[in-house]
Amino acid sequence: MLRVFACVLGRDITLAMRRRTDVLTTLFFFIIVVSLFPLGVGSERELLRELGPGVVWVAALLASMLALERLFAADYDDGTLEQMLLTGQPLSLLVLAKVIAHWLLTGLPLVIIAPLVAMQYHLPETAIWVMMISLAVGTPILSLLGAIGAALTLGLRGGGILLSLLILPLYIPVLVYGSGAVSVSMIEVADTQPYFYLLGAFLLIALLFAPLASAAALRISTE
């Protein structure tokens, strides 16, 4: 099973590297959205510090959604998904490999670039580190939940709009606690641990149940 898992993971990353524009589009979208807000609201330091955590997290949420519609679409079109369904390996394991590949290509670059975009909002060093950690914990949850929506809308006309309607409500708790951890970190007497505990709990639940739900949705979509 581990060999099949590594094979699917490596295959998805290799295919994505052949279409670098898809990966760069997500990264550039994140940078552009985060950079436009300081131009629109002005250069007041306190206002930017207040808006910064929410803006960065909303931009990360929207950027992660850009590639979700293509998560299973290519495999569905060329018949690879049917072969995955016929293999003797658990489909949930193969789905998890694809989700991890999606996060490595779309979520991890956002975590790495976050300190640079956070400087536009005059965030202190502590808040920048908290932002990186919250994104590192929160963006995998976005990929796992998004996989469920991508599987449910697979093959549907106008699936991108329906996908957004399905998963955006599920993203709200991650958005609230992720941005809340960064905002609280700028208050000296506040503690960010409860936010990370909740994000960690969300990640654990998503790791346990999202691949199973996505696998069941893929079977329904391919019937």
pLDDT value, residue 189: 63
Is 148 inside a domain boundary?
A: yes
Is 215 inside a domain boundary?
A: yes
Is 83 inside a domain boundary?
A: no
Is 79 inside a domain boundary?
A: no
- In whole angstroms, give the CA distance from residue 74 to residue 68: 12
pLDDT at 213 over 80: yes
pLDDT at 159 over 70: no
Question: What's the total number of domains in the chain?
Answer: 1
Neighbour-count burial for 40-56, b at 16+ CB within 10 Å, e otherwise:
eeeeeeeebbeebbbbb
Among residues of the chain, what percentage have pLDDT more than 90? 20
- In whole angstroms, give the CA distance from residue 186 to residue 128: 10
Higher pLDDT, 22 or 62: 62
pLDDT grade, residue 74 (50/70/90)? confident
Is 174 inside a domain boundary?
A: yes
Is 15 inside a domain boundary?
A: yes
Which residues fall within 8 angstroms of residue 214, CB to CB, at 6 or more apart?
Answer: 92, 95, 99, 147, 148, 150, 151
- Closest by CA to 202, choosing from 106, 147, 137, 129, is 137
Is 73 inside a domain boundary?
A: no
Q: Which two tokens stand for residue 136?
A: 């590192």
Average pLDDT over residues 11-35: 83
> The domain containing residue 42 runs over which residues?
2-68+95-222
**What radius of gyration do the chain's Cα atoms show?**
18
- In whole angstroms, give the CA distance from residue 201 to residue 177: 12
Task: Determine which of 48-52, 100-104, 157-161 has the lowest per-residue pLDDT on average.
Answer: 157-161
Instruction: Indicate the residue type of 139.
Output: T
pLDDT in tens, 92-119: 888 898 899 889 988 898 899 888 888 8
pLDDT at 205 over 90: yes
pLDDT value, residue 158: 65
Is 103 inside a domain boundary?
A: yes
Q: Which of 26-40, 145-159, 202-216 has the highest mean pLDDT?
A: 202-216
pLDDT value, residue 135: 92
